[in-house]
Amino acid sequence: MMKALGSLSRRRFLTASASLGIGTIAAPYVARADDPTLRITGWGGKWGEIMKAEIGPAFESEFKCKLQTDSAFPYLPKLQASSRSAPIYDVLHTNSNEQWAAAEMGLVEPKIDPKLVPNLADVYPYAISDKIVGVSIFTSAIGLGMRTDKGYGNVTSWKELWDAKYNGVRGGYVIPVNSLGQAFLMMCGTLFGKGQTDLDAAYTALEKLKPIKIVDFTGAMEKMLLSGEVGLCVIHDSGIYRYDGQNQPTDFVSPSEGVLSLEQVLTITPGSKMKELANAYVNYMLRPEVQKRLAETVWYSPANKKVKLDAKYDAKLLTTPEKVSKLIQVDWKWYNERKDEIDQRVNRIFRA
Amino acid sequence: MSSTATTRPNGLALFILPSALLFALFFFLPIGLMALMSALTGNPVVMPKVAFTTRHYARMIGDPYYLEVIWTTIRIGLVTTLVALLIGYPLAHWMARIRSRTGHALLLMAVLAPMLTGIVVRTFAWMTLLSDKGVVNQTLMSLGLIAQPLKLMYTETGIVVGLVHIYVPFMVLTLTGVIGRIDERLEQAAENLGASPLRAFLEVTLPLSLPGILAGSLLVFALAISAYVTPILLGGFQIMTLPILIYQQISANFNVGFAAALGIVLLVISLMLVIAYNRALGLVSGQRELQ
């Protein structure tokens, strides 16, 4: 016994220890080396939590693969910087305006093949309309969010946002960087001009909207509304409904002129080496049971017509053809072609 | 023998080589790439046909909005530097001359304590103080001193307040070292020769501390003009600075070339101001040029 121990030289001991250490560290990666990896993007917050805890693992288990999610926004500059033949993502999940920009740059495929994604047959027309690149798996309604404890009365129209009584408590977005802000600019053209593309009317309306508190993302607007920093603001329904049951003095208003759609869009990158898996993922995300679980967690309106939500969610979300018909989609292709010009103008309008 | 001596690698050079390589890789290469991208029509790595262009710079010169943004950035940097110097110098002087070791330690802790908290957290703290529903406005309104909230946020003043709070420690720590090395007997000699304490300070201590003022000011100015989080949160996107515009161009307009051109302009302006500041201080201090 002593002899055996004595034969263990220092060099052998170090070699064995190093091998054991490397083996321990590498073991999980070696074990998973055979599993294909699908690289996707996705939001954080509640969306990220449920994707990580339930939806993602179920997909991995069924399709014997690994999901690698990037939730560090912005995604498009990273995709833009990666090689076309070996893109950083296989599936891009982001809002419609960015998807259009990605499609224009050839970074994503403009359409999803219905033969490879059978659930595409069950989506509402808006989800694959000519205003959409890829497929919209969910949508939110962009309307007005208001405090109910300030005695503002009944708000029914977008135009009430211009009412002088909201000076100092009016909320909007940094238009160059926010989808809601950009959609709202197009709505201003409709409200005060000849239509979405009437930019001059929109700029004049935005000038008259000051003073306004502007933020870059909806989470910040939610906090400002909850704290009372703003009393009436542009917001999507999910940003109000997600506080359901917390007794917050806030409510969502669907203006009589219609609500704008904020689509959650999936596209596949042309250079993806995981095309089959990418299509399977898109199809999976459109499954009624997956749609229902996500919709009831994050308060997004499902794109699949066959989804039956519980009564509480069904009452508020866009779950019937009649409700969906209220959605106004923005022509993002048109918008993106003029984005530089629009940004320069609105940056001037909202500077202090 | 002499041949062996000349071919022998210099030990010091070998010692410096790794850091020189790191510096070249993480400093010169990115700046070089940025300069190249600012003069190209696209990214040559992913686009097949890319040509040289001056359109990004022409766009900047052709639109006065960008010149206004550049001036706003410089103005915020200069005001932040000046205020940080005015606050930091007396504190640094006190720290350098205090006799009590406990007192010095307490002052040092007071200066360093804010640096233990992240910039985002400190900026959010300022937001809770300066917003319409913040501590300052609510207190003034509850005392009946004001009827409507004062506009403390979403202004250049708000941004400067936040930046000064964040960058004053850099000024103080730089100045403390320099003032601490000035021989106090020089001031005493000036006073013995009839100078008042103020005159002794102005004619002896202040000129001798100019290298510290220069180093601290350049540090604070460079940090202030490149700040992103504080201007965006306290300015509420209504005060546009170059870093915000650069991020906007990359994240929302996907125009890397124009963002690179803006970055190069920011770099050139900073270098020009550094050189001018260096020369001006050199003249004031009676030297040809501060090294």
Examine residue A329 and state whether it is found in any structural domain, yes or no: no
Q: Are residues A182 and A209 in the same domain?
A: yes
Q: Confidence class of residue B164 from pLDDT cuts 50, 70 and 90?
A: very high
Q: Are residues A206 and A307 in the same domain?
A: no
**B2 has pLDDT over 60:** no
Q: What is the mean pLDDT of residues A217-224?
A: 92
Give how far B236 is from chain A: nearest CA, Å: 6
Residues ≥6 apart with Cβ < 8 Å to A310: A296
Task: Identify whether the C-beta of residue B111 lies closer than 8 Å to the C-beta of residue B172.
Answer: yes
Q: Are residues A209 and A177 in the same domain?
A: yes
- State how far the Cα of A347 lies from the Cα of B158, in Å rounded to an integer: 19
Residues of B in contact with A339 (CB under 8 A): 253
Under an 8 A CB cutoff, do A227 and B133 touch?
Answer: yes
Q: What is the mean pLDDT of residues A303-311?
A: 97
What does the DSSP assignment read for A129-172?
STT-SSEEEEEEEEEEEEESSS-------GGGGG-GGGTTSEEE
Q: Which residue has the higher pLDDT, A178 or A3?
A: A178
CATH number of the domain to which A108 belongs = 3.40.190.10
Q: Are residues A200 and A342 in the same domain?
A: yes
- State how far the Cα of A35 lies from the Cα of A71, in Å rounded to an integer: 22
Give how far A57 is from chain B: nearest CA, Å: 30
Interchain contact B149–A (C-beta under 8 A): yes
Per-residue model confidence as pLDDT tens digits over B137-162: 999 999 999 988 888 888 999 999 99
Q: Tokens at residue A176, please?
A: 């160059």
Nearest CA in chain A to B148: A168
What letter does residue B43 receive in the DSSP assignment?
Answer: -
Query: From residue B148, how far is each of A126, A279, B126 by CA, in Å?
Result: 46, 56, 19
Query: Smallest Cα–Cα separation from B180: which of B63, B99, B85, B264?
Result: B99
Per-residue model confidence as pLDDT tens digits over B227-265: 999 999 999 888 999 999 999 999 999 999 999 999 999
State how far Cα B9 lies from the chain centre: 39
Q: Are residues A93 and A238 in the same domain?
A: no
Nearest CA in chain A to B130: A229
* Cβ under 8 Å to A: B residues 152-171: 154-156
ipTM metric: 0.77
Examine residue A326 and state whether it is found in any structural domain, yes or no: no
Give how far B203 is from chain A: nearest CA, Å: 42
Per-residue model confidence as pLDDT tens digits over A318-352: 999 999 998 999 999 999 999 999 998 998 898 86
% of chain B surpassing 70 pLDDT = 94
Under an 8 A CB cutoff, do B238 and A344 touch?
Answer: no
Q: What is the crossing angle of helices B256-284 and B55-62, to 10°?
A: 70
- State how far the Cα of A303 lies from the Cα of A318, in Å rounded to an integer: 9
Cβ atoms within 10 A of the Cβ of B284, count? Answer: 13
Nearest CA in chain A to B133: A229
Give the total number of structural domains in chain A: 2
Examine residue A28 and state whether it is found in any structural domain, yes or no: no
Under an 8 A CB cutoff, do B46 and A80 touch?
Answer: yes
Q: Are residues A184 and A87 in the same domain?
A: no
Per-residue model confidence as pLDDT tens digits over B87-101: 999 999 999 999 899
State whether the Cα torsion A264-B238-B244-A196 is positive or negative.
positive
Per-residue pLDDT, A19: 65
A184-193, B127-136, B204-213, range with greatest mean pLDDT: A184-193
Q: Are residues A266 and A172 in the same domain?
A: no
Examine residue A323 and state whether it is found in any structural domain, yes or no: no
Per-residue model confidence as pLDDT tens digits over B267-283: 998 888 888 877 877 77
**B287 has pLDDT over 80:** no
Q: Are residues A130 and A268 in the same domain?
A: yes
Q: Are residues A244 and A225 in the same domain?
A: yes
Interchain contact B147–A (C-beta under 8 A): no
Per-residue model confidence as pLDDT tens digits over B7-29: 666 778 888 888 989 988 998 99
- State how far the Cα of A203 lies from the Cα of A338, in Å rounded to an integer: 14
Q: Tokens at residue B195, please?
A: 């100078």
Task: Walk me through the domains of chain B, giving residue ranges and CATH numbers.
Answer: 28-284 (1.10.3720.10)
Examine residue A29 and state whether it is found in any structural domain, yes or no: no
User: Token pair 């560090």 is at which residue?
Assistant: A72
Q: Give the β-pairing of A259-268 and A232-236.
A: unpaired
Residues of A in contact with B43 (CB under 8 A): 80-81
Examine residue A328 and state whether it is found in any structural domain, yes or no: no
Per-residue pLDDT, A11: 65
Per-residue model confidence as pLDDT tens digits over B168-189: 999 999 999 999 999 989 989 9
Examine residue A168 and state whether it is found in any structural domain, yes or no: yes
Q: Confidence class of residue B1 from pLDDT cuts 50, 70 and 90?
A: very low
Give how far A13 is from chain B: nearest CA, Å: 32
Q: Are residues A193 and A253 in the same domain?
A: yes
Q: Are residues A104 and A151 in the same domain?
A: no
Q: Are residues A133 and A153 in the same domain?
A: no
Instruction: Choose the mutation target among B33, B37, B40, B46 for the interface with A, i.e. most A CBs under 10 Å.
Output: B46
Q: Confidence class of residue A65 from pLDDT cuts 50, 70 and 90?
A: very high
Query: Smallest Cα–Cα separation from B88: which of B187, B203, B212, B270?
Result: B212
Per-residue model confidence as pLDDT tens digits over A126-146: 999 999 999 999 999 999 999
Examine residue A30 and state whether it is found in any structural domain, yes or no: no
Per-residue pLDDT, B154: 87
Instruction: Choose the mutation target among B37, B251, B262 for the interface with A, i.e. most A CBs under 10 Å.
Output: B251
Per-residue pLDDT, B96: 93
Q: Confidence class of residue A25 from pLDDT cuts 50, 70 and 90?
A: low
Per-residue model confidence as pLDDT tens digits over B100-125: 999 999 999 999 988 888 999 999 99
Residue-range definition of the domain harbouring residue A212: 140-261+335-349
Mean confidence (pLDDT) of chain A:
92
CB-closest option in B148, B237, B253 to A216: B237
Task: Identify whether the C-beta of residue B245 lies closer than 8 Å to the C-beta of residue B173.
Answer: no
Under an 8 A CB cutoff, do B237 and A101 touch?
Answer: no
CB-closest option in A84, A105, A229 to B131: A229
